[in-house]
Amino acid sequence: MATAANANTPEDPNNPLASHRQPEFVPPRPDADLLIHAIDLHTYYGASHILRGVNFQVRRGETIGLMGRNGMGKSTLLKSIMGLVKPRAGGVLVMGKPMTGRAPYEIAKLGVAYVPEGRGIFGNLSVVENLRMAARPGTRGQRDWTYERVLETFPRLKERLGHGGQQLSGGEQQMLTIGRALMTNPDVLILDEATEGLAPLIAREIWRICDVIRASGISSVIVDKNWKHVTQVTDRNVILVKGEVVFEGTSAQITAQPELLTQHLGV
């Protein structure tokens, strides 16, 4: 009979977590063009097994669409990469450095900017203050995205510089959040739910901005329900179903398979 000291340990066959134990994570050799590398990620919320062995890569200069229905693990994957959720197994490398479960600010300092689904702007600060507080050179000393360039890219923000964050519309808040992220001169921009809840006219403006970011050479990960617009700005696309990658390929490959889109994206 198990004693109190050893009951329900990982070695105990009656432990429900025993069957989910994974081998110790061993980082691969560094690859200078591989900016983010998630390897065999298993992430849980309590007892719920959300990510099931996900492998995901972001290379220098590429834009990736992360797709899937609600609840399939897209946001959990992004949070696992950003250190907001700690995977139970597997690992995350950022710029070649093992960063699994490290604090989000440490990952951001390596050149990753994250635009969360809830936007996360500071409502009590003005547009100017939200932008200027984030200004810094990139990891290679680059200052491509200046305050002036951000306002040139987002003309609506230029008209509202003195407005508080809480006074902006949803679309303007999204522009401000993206603009603030660009002020950090990142190597990778992660955009969760790019156009959710936005009017069609504003959504088109966000897609235009995604094109501008892509042309600037920043790598991007874009989550959005509108696969048609996503595939117009991405080089590669990944579909998640119940925490597993079921498809990975170019925009041309995914749009050539309507049955795949119907099955996994419900279109």
Q: What radius of gyration do the chain's Cα atoms show?
A: 20
Specify the amino acid at residue 251: S
Residue 196 lies in a domain: yes
Q: Which domain holds residue 162?
A: 30-265
Write out the DSSP string of 82-124: HTSS--SEEEEEETTEE-TT--HHHHHHTTEEEE-TT----TT
Q: How many domains does the chain have?
A: 1
> Residue 8 contacts by C-beta under 8 Å, 6 or more apart in sequence?
2, 14, 15
Residue 14 lies in a domain: no
| Mean pLDDT, 10 residues at a time, the chain of 267 residues | 40 47 62 92 96 97 96 96 96 96 96 90 92 95 96 95 93 95 98 93 94 96 94 96 96 92 83
> Residue 261 contacts by C-beta under 8 Å, 6 or more apart in sequence?
227, 254, 255, 267
Residue 75 lies in a domain: yes
pLDDT at 123: 87
Residue 49 lies in a domain: yes
In this structure, what CATH number is given to the domain that contains residue 160? Answer: 3.40.50.300
pLDDT at 11: 41
pLDDT at 27: 64
pLDDT at 117: 87
Is the distance from CB of 190 to CB of 38 less than 8 angstroms?
no
Alpha helix segments (H runs only) across the chain: 74-82, 104-109, 127-132, 147-153, 155-158, 170-182, 200-215, 227-233, 251-255, 258-265
Residue 16 lies in a domain: no
Taking the C-alpha atoms of residue 39 and residue 99, their distance in angstroms, rounded to an integer, is 12
How many CB atoms neighbour CB 223 within 10 A? 23
Strands 219-223, 188-191: pairing kind = parallel
Q: Distances from the Cα of 211 to the Cαs of 91, 132, 241, in angstroms?
A: 30, 23, 27
Residue 199 lies in a domain: yes
Residue 1 lies in a domain: no
Taking the C-alpha atoms of residue 163 and residue 167, their distance in angstroms, rounded to an integer, is 6
pLDDT at 32: 77
Residue 20 lies in a domain: no
Which pair of tokens denotes residue 38?
């998630």
| Burial class of 117 by CB neighbour count within 10 A (0 to 12, 13 to 18, 19+) | middle
Per-residue b or e along 26-51, where b marks 16 or more CB atoms closer than 10 Å to that residue's CB = eeeeeeeebbbbbbbbbbbeeeebbb
Say what the pTM is.
0.86
pLDDT at 99: 96
